[in-house]
């Protein structure tokens, strides 16, 4: 079981050390750790913004969705662990037909599909909550289609990554930690670049925003903020959801600013402009590129750590594989990815919250209208039935944005400082 050449330990440690230090340096230099200049954000009391009934409904609906999400994560971790940290996953892959690369691709589909099916009842429960609360208007057929497309996208992206890593381990069993880290970083950069043009159209149709005062104001705002925007795209999100949203994706030539069609009909023009100003803040600071670079360094760091792990006979024996070049390793790699992503979530989301806070600040500085910003944040929270005071540990671990009360507090502090 363990006669295959082991990866170089010193090379693995060097890859992990270099990529880890690079991650820390880049994060220290480009992440806006101070949300507002010269102080901390003070969240406003929930009772100052929402009625008792609004608070109770947000806590109730968000609580049910959180519980379903937490349970889904637990099921995913348990299933991935059973398939990856025991011989069960390797036994499944060994029975698949074809050469090593076919086993990797088919094994990725089968094992990912098992995980998806195991957590499907909890996803159904979350969808039931959203439908009963009026957050979702998507028919069950369309919802299942989206789950199938999501599984297909995950399978394709994951299969490519696994083929590259396993293939490199077969070609260079001693030095694959270096080549794998470079490949993982490159794939992360490429994936973020092509995602807006290859994946997003699978879920939504996008059309340019219609000519009119709103489009003219947005383009004028972008010009004042020195953000190059060819156009603002509108996604047909209303066929799925009633929530209001906008986002920036891609970087370089694939960067796009997208608003939900629900946003255009659900908010007054000034509040829509405040939302878009937030997204322009992301574009102005190249936040998607920043996140992609940090993700690429994180992927390289993970490949560096994988070297010493794959050199341990006990890990290989329990998983039923001989080396990283063994196609039966698919289950182990998927399990490590699930656990690694969960453990990395606090770091990832701490960075995300800081970047989102800077985009909020950019919106306030661009519009000079904290009252409209506060009204917009309140409406976004009400339409999404957000919990104004989520559990602290949950917000720390899973919260990708500041809370509504923190964002309103920031607007009040910056508004007071500007007067």
Residue 357's pLDDT is: 96
Distance CA 375, CA 267 (A): 10
Instruction: State the pLDDT at residue 416.
Output: 75
Does residue 331 belong to any structural domain of this protein?
yes
Q: What is the pLDDT of residue 418?
A: 59
Q: Within a domain: residue 2?
A: no
Bridge-partner residues for 234, per DSSP? 207, 259
What residues are paired with 233 via a beta bridge?
A: 208, 258
Q: Which two tokens stand for residue 56?
A: 């109770």
Tell me, yes or no, whether 1 lies in a domain.
no
Count of all residues that appear for the chain in the document: 419
Q: How far apart are CA 133 and CA 284, in angstroms?
A: 36
In a domain, 365, yes or no: yes
pLDDT of residue 3: 59
Report pLDDT for 162: 98
Residue at 258 is within a domain: yes
| Residue 216: Cβ within 10 Å count | 11
pLDDT confidence of residue 396: 97
The parent domain of residue 198 ranges over: 9-418
Kindly give the pairing relationship between strand 256-260 and strand 246-249: antiparallel
What's the domain count of the chain? 1
- Structural domain includes residue 375: yes
Rounded CA separation 370/377 (Å): 10
Is 299 in contact with 15 (CB distance < 8 Å)? Answer: no
Q: Does residue 237 fall inside a structural domain?
A: yes
* In contact, 98 and 106? CB cutoff 8 Å: yes
DSSP H stretches of helix in 34-138: 52-84, 88-94, 100-132
Which segments in the chain show pLDDT lower than 70?
A: 1-4, 417-419
> What's the pTM value of the predicted model, to 2 decimals?
0.94
Is 3 among the domain residues? no
How many angstroms separate the CA atoms of 57 and 70, rounded?
20
Residue 419: its pLDDT value, please? Answer: 56
């Amino acid at each position: 079981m363990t006669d295959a050449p082991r990866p170089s330990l010193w090379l693995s440690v060097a890859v992990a050390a270099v990529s880890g230090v690079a991650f820390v340096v880049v994060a220290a230099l480009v992440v806006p750790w101070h949300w507002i200049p010269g102080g901390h954000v003070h969240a406003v009391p929930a009772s100052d913004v929402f009625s008792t009934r609004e608070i109770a409904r947000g806590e109730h609906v968000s609580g049910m969705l959180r519980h379903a999400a937490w349970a889904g994560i637990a099921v995913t971790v348990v299933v991935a662990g059973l398939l990856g940290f025991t011989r069960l996953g390797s036994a499944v892959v060994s029975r698949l037909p074809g050469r090593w690369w076919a086993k990797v691709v088919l094994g990725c589909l089968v094992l990912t599909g098992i995980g998806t099916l195991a957590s499907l009842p909890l996803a159904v429960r979350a969808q039931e909550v959203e439908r009963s609360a009026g957050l979702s208007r998507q028919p069950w057929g369309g919802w299942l289609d989206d789950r199938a497309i999501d599984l297909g996208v995950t399978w394709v992206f994951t299969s490519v990554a696994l083929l590259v890593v396993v293939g490199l381990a077969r070609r260079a069993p001693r030095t694959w930690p270096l080549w794998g880290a470079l490949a993982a970083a490159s794939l992360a950069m490429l994936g973020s670049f092509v995602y807006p043009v290859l994946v997003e159209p699978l879920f939504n149709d996008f059309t340019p925003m219609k000519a009119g005062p709103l489009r003219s104001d947005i383009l004028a705002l972008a010009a004042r903020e020195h953000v190059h925007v060819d156009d603002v795209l509108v996604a047909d999100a209303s066929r799925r959801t009633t929530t209001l949203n906008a986002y920036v994706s891609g970087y370089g030539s694939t960067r796009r600013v997208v608003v939900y069609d629900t946003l255009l009909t659900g908010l007054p023009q000034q509040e829509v402009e405040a939302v878009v100003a937030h997204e322009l803040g992301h574009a102005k600071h190249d936040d998607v590129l920043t996140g992609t670079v940090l993700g690429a360094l994180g992927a390289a760091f993970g490949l560096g750590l994988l070297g010493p792990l794959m050199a341990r006979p006990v890990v290989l024996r329990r998983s039923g594989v001989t080396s990283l070049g063994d196609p039966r390793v698919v289950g182990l790699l998927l399990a490590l990815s699930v656990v690694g992503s969960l453990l990395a979530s606090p770091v990832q989301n701490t960075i995300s919250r800081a970047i989102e806070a800077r985009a909020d600040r950019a919106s306030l500085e661009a519009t000079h209208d904290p009252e409209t910003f506060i009204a917009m944040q309140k409406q976004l929270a009400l339409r999404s039935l957000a919990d104004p005071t989520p559990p602290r540990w949950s917000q720390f671990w899973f919260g990708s944005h500041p809370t509504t009360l923190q964002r309103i507090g920031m607007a009040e502090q910056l508004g007071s400082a500007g007067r």
